[in-house]
């Protein structure tokens, strides 16, 4: 699949770049995408939720009434779960939600996500560029030139470019990453992907690495 290379001002150049079939043209695997997205979101969870159980409640352990003869249900101490302020039964405790996913499954998921975007013609390739200084207005103009100002975008750079990152970090729905940091969630969450020309080969070598 060939894509015309654009300048960052939105103008077409005479160059074209070929998106490798081994990355952008495979048979998509929806289950791999599901597992990888689930893994990414699970790994973000803090898991610090906690409620106090009966043995952690501050209070007297004295029996609050006699066992029989009151006409009501028998009761132990004031920390019982059925009383207001008592401990919670089977409440949440801190836990780790993360789970391991094999590297080949993660690679397959990313390739599948990239294939879907390629089929939707939602991939733009730009000449390598940089900004002279960090300017948010310049990044907004850059998105407007590509007619993507109202879309969720993911810009994939070959390596970290401080001026570009600082220019785009405060813009809603505009995310910037590098070729070695792309993940399935970001790829699927974006409406359009913007690749810098040299990042295409980096992504290919990363995902086809044995």
Which residue matches tokens 């103008």? 11
3-state class percentages of the chain: helix first, strand second, coil last, to nearest 5: 35, 15, 50
- What value does the mean pLDDT take over residues 76-97? 91
What would the two tokens of residue 64 be?
């609050």
Class at the top of the CATH hierarchy for domain 2-45+97-207 = alpha beta
Q: Smallest Cα–Cα separation from 116: which of 175, 177, 203, 192?
A: 192
Tell me the CA distances in angstroms from 6 to 16, 96, 156, 194, one per residue in order: 9, 44, 14, 10
**pLDDT (tens digit, 9 = 90+) per residue, 119-157?**
999 999 999 889 999 999 999 999 999 999 899 999 999
The domain spans of the chain are 2-45+97-207, 47-96
Q: Smallest Cα–Cα separation from 77: which of 58, 64, 89, 91?
A: 64
Angle at 165 between CA 162 and CA 168, to 5 degrees: 145
**pLDDT (tens digit, 9 = 90+) per residue, 109-121?**
999 999 999 999 9
Q: Smallest Cα–Cα separation from 22: which of 186, 200, 193?
A: 200
DSSP 144-166: HHTT-TTS-EEEEESS--HHHHH
CA 78 to chain centre: 45
> Is the pLDDT at 41 greater than 90, yes or no?
yes
Its pTM surpasses 0.75 = yes
């Amino acid at each position: 699949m060939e894509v015309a290379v654009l300048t960052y001002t939105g103008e077409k150049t005479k160059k074209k770049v070929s998106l490798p079939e081994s990355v952008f043209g495979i048979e998509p695997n929806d289950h791999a995408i599901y597992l990888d997205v689930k893994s990414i979101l699970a790994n973000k969870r803090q898991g610090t939720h906690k409620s106090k159980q009966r043995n952690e409640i501050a209070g007297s352990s004295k029996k609050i009434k006699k066992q029989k003869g009151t006409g009501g249900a028998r009761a132990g101490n004031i920390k019982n779960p059925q009383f207001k302020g008592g401990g919670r039964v089977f409440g949440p405790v801190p836990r780790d939600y993360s789970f391991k996913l094999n590297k080949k499954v993660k690679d397959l998921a990313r390739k599948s996500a990239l294939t879907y975007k390629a089929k939707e013609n939602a991939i733009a390739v730009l000449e390598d560029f940089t900004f002279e200084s960090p300017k948010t207005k310049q990044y907004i103009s850059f998105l407007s030139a590509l007619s993507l100002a109202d879309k969720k975008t993911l810009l994939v750079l070959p390596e970290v470019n401080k001026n570009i990152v600082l220019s785009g970090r405060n813009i809603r729905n505009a995310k910037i990453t590098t070729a070695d940091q792309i993940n399935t969630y970001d790829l699927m969450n974006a409406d359009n992907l913007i690749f810098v020309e040299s990042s295409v080969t980096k992504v290919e070598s990363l995902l086809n690495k044995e």
